[in-house]
Amino acid sequence: MMADLLTIFNTARGLFPGTKRGLKTEFSDFKKKHKDWADCVELLEPAILREMNYKRMLRSQKVFCPEWPHFRTWLNQRRWEQEFPQIKKEKTAAGRRCPQCERYLDSTGRCFCGYSSEREF
């Protein structure tokens, strides 16, 4: 049981892109800091993956993206519980349909029927 949790913890540690310390050091700090550590171990890896995706999205949209903290800090702050806001896609008419006739709008937000969504964005 303990060995399994250690392995799971180490997978998360290996995946974490920020600065990290050795497995035993990180694991013993983690256990000391959080009484519920055994319930949290399995949440680490998916949370790191979520955050990686989120950061990738920020960068791709040229939005400020904070650097990864030290793994110790990330763990101390229970950052695996973080929830990320939805990032709005750049406003564009692409893929939107005309509310009048249901045709796809062109890239400027105009429709063949004369409808224009310009004023909305």
What does the binding site for Zn ion look like in residue numbers (CB under 5 A)?
98, 100-101, 103, 111, 113, 115
- Smallest distance from the beta carbon of 107 to Zn ion, in angstroms? 15
How far apart (Å, rounded) are the C-alpha atoms in residues 90 and 29?
42
Beta bridge partners of 110: 116
CA 90, distance to chain mean position in Å, is 18
- Smallest distance from the beta carbon of 17 to Zn ion, in angstroms? 47
- Smallest distance from the beta carbon of 101 to Zn ion, in angstroms? 3
Q: Which residue has the tokens 């949209």?
A: 61
* Both tokens assigned to 116: 């224009």
- Smallest distance from the beta carbon of 115 to Zn ion, in angstroms? 4
Of the candidates 76, 21, 19, the one whose C-alpha atom is nearest the C-alpha of residue 44 is: 76
Which one, 48 or 111, has the nearer CB to Zn ion?
111
* Both tokens assigned to 96: 């939107």
Which one, 59 or 103, has the nearer CB to Zn ion?
103
